Amino acid sequence: MKSDIELYVSEEDLIGNIQKDFSFYYPYLRLQFFKNPHGEKEASLKKELLPAYLPVSEIALFHKAGRINISPYRKATEMENDFYFKLGLNVQVFRKANNIWLETTKTDDLTLKAQNEIGKISCQTVPAEAAMEFDLQDVE
pTM of the model: 0.83
Largest CA distance in the chain: 66
Q: What's the whole-number mean pLDDT along residues 89-105? A: 92
Please, which residues bridge with residue 55 across strands? 14
Domains of the chain: which residue ranges? Answer: 6-138
pLDDT at 43 over 50: yes
Distance CA 105, CA 41 (A): 5
Average pLDDT of the residues in 16-23: 97
Q: Report, in angstroms and rounded to the nearest whole number, the Rg of the chain calculated over CA atoms.
A: 18
Q: Are 17 and 7 in contact (CB under 8 A)?
A: no
Average pLDDT, the chain: 87
